[in-house]
Amino acid sequence: MRIYDISREIFSSTPYEGDPAPETHLLRSVKDGHPYSLSSVSMCLHTATHIDAPSHYLEDGKAIDEISLKKCIGPCMVLEAGGVIDEGYIAPLLGRGAKRLLFKGKGVLTPQAARLIAESEVIMVGTENPTVGYGEHVHEIHRILLEKEILPLEGLNLKDVPEGNYYLVALPLKLEGVEGSPCRAVLMDYLPAAVL
């Protein structure tokens, strides 16, 4: 079994425009004579690899601690997508049992493609981009997906992952009442049948 770490390192990741850069603060250090080292972190919850909860865009949407972890663990499909991801690209993928779609490359969803996904069995959409939407459509695409509780998994690192079927584990931190969370996302190319 091979495990692919598809997360981005937090401190070296470029923040989304307008978001604060992550910072670490050393509170105690063994080097300075303390019996232990201790640090704190300050960051936007949408830095590097992260999951958006419905409350990111919807006033009454679920917070990150309320989403079902079943959506964050399970079979997925990694697909090359270097340009516009429109309904013609999406339609053949649906109805084949793929509930988690991860797009490798700089491909961007159109609102029409997002609507098609929202009407399907898909429960998570992943992207290497910092956001699942783009340009003037960024808010619309988020709302289309999040209204159906389809979770955006954003800021992935899929450069070393071939297209294909995998098992995804991408768990958000248990942060009560907030609209998103960083996560450590991994793909496995094989799991024993007993685990599936």
The residues near 68 (Cβ < 8 Å, ≥ 6 apart) are none
Q: Measure the N-to-C terminal CA separation of the chain; round to a whole number of Å.
A: 14
- What band does 113 get if pLDDT is binned at 50, 70 and 90? very high
Active-site position among 25, 46, 50, 56: 56
- Rounded to an integer, the average pLDDT of 131-149 is 95
User: Which two tokens mark 134?
Assistant: 């783009």
Percent share of the chain, pLDDT over 90: 90
| Whole-number pLDDT of residue 191 | 62
The residues near 72 (Cβ < 8 Å, ≥ 6 apart) are 51, 124, 151, 168, 169, 170, 171, 172, 183
User: Which two tokens mark 183?
Assistant: 């996560």
- Rounded to an integer, the average pLDDT of 43-59 is 98
56 counts as catalytic? yes
Instruction: Please state whether the predicted TM-score (pTM) of the whole model is above 0.85.
Output: yes
| Whole-number pLDDT of residue 86 | 95
CATH of domain 3-13+45-188: 3.50.30.50
